[in-house]
């Protein structure tokens, strides 16, 4: 398995870097395409959910958990 890859995304007009393993970048692109959104818009949505939690994780962790939850729903 390859290590994390750092990429920049724009959230609310601000660039931020996110490090994710390639498999998560692929899953994120696929989820964005399925939802008809640009990757930046999906990341912004995940970020808004993350910030609303009582103890927000870092953005990379929030994306991984969001993708896992999405996959779990599709398999149920």
Given a cut of 80, whether residue 66 has pLDDT beyond it is yes
User: What pTM, to 2 d.p., does this model score?
Assistant: 0.90
Given a cut of 80, whether residue 1 has pLDDT beyond it is no
Which CATH number applies to 5-75: 1.20.59.20, 1.10.3470.10, 1.10.3990.20, 2.30.110.10?
A: 1.10.3990.20
Identify the pLDDT of residue 62: 97
Extents of the domains making up the chain? 5-75
Q: φ, ψ for residue 51 (rounded to 5)?
A: -65, -30
Tens digit of each residue's pLDDT (9 = 90 or more) over 25-60? 999 999 999 999 999 999 999 999 999 999 999 999
Identify the pLDDT of residue 74: 79
């Amino acid at each position: 398995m390859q290590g994390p890859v750092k990429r920049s995304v724009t959230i609310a007009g601000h660039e931020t870097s996110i490090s994710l393993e390639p498999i998560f970048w692929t899953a994120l692109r696929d989820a964005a395409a399925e939802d008809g959104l640009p990757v930046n818009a999906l990341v912004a949505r995940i970020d808004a959910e993350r910030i609303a939690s009582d103890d927000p994780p870092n953005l990379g962790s929030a994306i991984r958990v969001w993708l896992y939850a999405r996959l779990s729903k599709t398999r149920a």
